[in-house]
Amino acid sequence: MKVDVKIHSVHFDADKKLLNFIEERVNKLTKFYDHIIDAEVILKVEKGATPENKVAEIRLSIPGNDAFAKKTSKSFEESVDLAIEALRRQIKKHKEKERSI
């Protein structure tokens, strides 16, 4: 099952390689939980003196609740990876809660 991924890049145009990377990573989450309805990804660059200013926010729509993660790092790829990892943990907890009901 493929997740409908909406990607918004704020004040810049994300290249095709980055967009494909994000879609691939988000779709890998279906291995852990196959009831993901859709995903919304927001990419932005925070103003500041630090090189760690690439922000990735990912919101997953899943039945009963939404999962959300926001991560900042030196590259969008790294930010997306960190956010996906946080979402994977949230999904795992959500599944455990579902099973215990």
Domains of the chain: 4-100 (3.30.160.100)
Using only C-alpha atoms, the chain has a radius of gyration, in whole angstroms, of: 14
Listed in order, strand segments (DSSP E) in the chain are 4-9, 38-45, 54-62, 65-73
Per-residue model confidence (pLDDT) at position 98: 81
> Mind listing the pLDDT tens digit of every residue in the chain (101 residues)?
688 999 999 999 999 999 999 999 999 999 998 889 999 999 999 988 788 999 999 999 998 889 999 999 999 999 999 999 999 999 999 888 888 87
Per-residue model confidence (pLDDT) at position 71: 97
Per-residue model confidence (pLDDT) at position 2: 85
Read off the pTM.
Answer: 0.93
Per-residue model confidence (pLDDT) at position 25: 96
